[in-house]
Amino acid sequence: MLVGKDLQNRGPDRDVTDLHRAVELGDLQAVQKLLASGADPAAMSRKGRTPLFIAVTNRDAVIAEYLITHGAEGVEHGYYFSDDEAGIVQGPLIVHAVAINSAPIFELLVRHGASVTNPGQSDPSSDTRGLMGRAFHVRYKLMNSYPLSPGKREAELNDNLRIIRGLLQAGLALPDENAMEYGYPKLSAAHNAFANDMALQKLRLEYMQHSVRGSPHSQ
């Protein structure tokens, strides 16, 4: 692995830095050594990917936090970039965290300043309604589409519920069943699936009770 002045060298067959590679491999020790040797935590590959984007994509909260605390940029309004081959779309990292259904990454980004109520972008994917709608869309796919083992599905659904709870705590509302969420199917179409989702219904009830207690009419 290259260090020092050769660290950021990119030849014709290299579109990433050694730091990108270390993050991709999940090698925290190498990441630490590279940063200590002067690697740029905000370096972009030719496809526009930063080491932080790779850590987020890999759901590696440990390396992501290390990068953030050592100068990585883009937590608040950082964009990840489109990649037609991988099917990645453009949007803030917080949207990416919701889309890949990583509660630890979502919570990490919020803890370090990412906004869920005002991501600071104008495209629909970063709108607050779209963020909650995306979380519900992920939940619907987890329940109905993804081929997962029962244990893995339960773990993913629990992560998704943590994200929805985090969005609620940040001030977002649960979406209306008849609302169109930026190209996603109407939530009413998934009503039967969600009606049988006991964990989600329990959270919805808690949210409704909290809303009633906090309303002027309950005073």
Domain spans of the chain, in order of start: 1-72
Average pLDDT over residues 126-136: 68
Q: How many beta carbons lie within 10 A of that of residue 112, not counting itself? A: 14
Inter-CA distances, 209 with 186, 206, 213, 214, 218, Å = 25, 5, 6, 9, 11
Alpha helices by DSSP H, listed for the chain, are 18-25, 28-36, 51-57, 61-68, 93-99, 103-111, 128-144, 150-169, 191-195, 198-214
Band (pLDDT 50/70/90 cuts) for residue 78 is: low
* Residue 117 confidence (pLDDT): 74
Average pLDDT over residues 98-108: 94
Band (pLDDT 50/70/90 cuts) for residue 11 is: very low
Distance CA 217, CA 219 (A): 6
pTM metric for this prediction: 0.78
Average pLDDT over residues 45-70: 91
* Residue 212 confidence (pLDDT): 58
Candidates 2, 73, 63; CA nearest to 28 is 63
Asked whether the predicted pLDDT for residue 81 surpasses 60, the reply is no
Least trusted range by pLDDT, from 71-75, 119-123, 173-177:
119-123
Q: Is 201 left (phi over 0), alpha (psi -120 to 50) or beta?
A: alpha
Looking at per-residue pLDDT, the higher value among 76 and 148 belongs to 148
Homologous superfamily, domain 1-72: Ankyrin repeat-containing domain (1.25.40.20)
Looking at per-residue pLDDT, the higher value among 99 and 186 belongs to 99
Asked whether the predicted pLDDT for residue 9 surpasses 60, the reply is no
Distance CA 161, CA 157 (A): 6
* Residue 131 confidence (pLDDT): 82
Average pLDDT over residues 141-170: 89
* Residue 2 confidence (pLDDT): 38
Distance CA 206, CA 187 (A): 20
Distance CA 199, CA 188 (A): 18
* Residue 183 confidence (pLDDT): 44
Q: Do residues 58 and 24 make contact, with C-beta atoms less than 8 angstroms apart?
A: yes
Question: pLDDT (tens digit, 9 = 90+) per residue, 156-214?
Answer: 999 999 999 999 888 887 765 554 444 445 555 555 567 778 888 888 888 877 765 55
Q: Which two tokens stand for residue 52?
A: 């932080």
Q: Is 91 left (phi over 0), alpha (psi -120 to 50) or beta?
A: left
Asked whether the predicted pLDDT for residue 109 surpasses 50, the reply is yes
* Residue 136 confidence (pLDDT): 85
Choose from 79-93, 107-121, 140-154 the range with maximum mean pLDDT: 140-154
One DSSP character per residue, 152-197 reads HHHHHHHHHHHHHHHHHHTTPPPPPTT---TTSPPGGGGHHHHHT-
Q: Which amino acid is at 61?
A: A
* Residue 134 confidence (pLDDT): 83
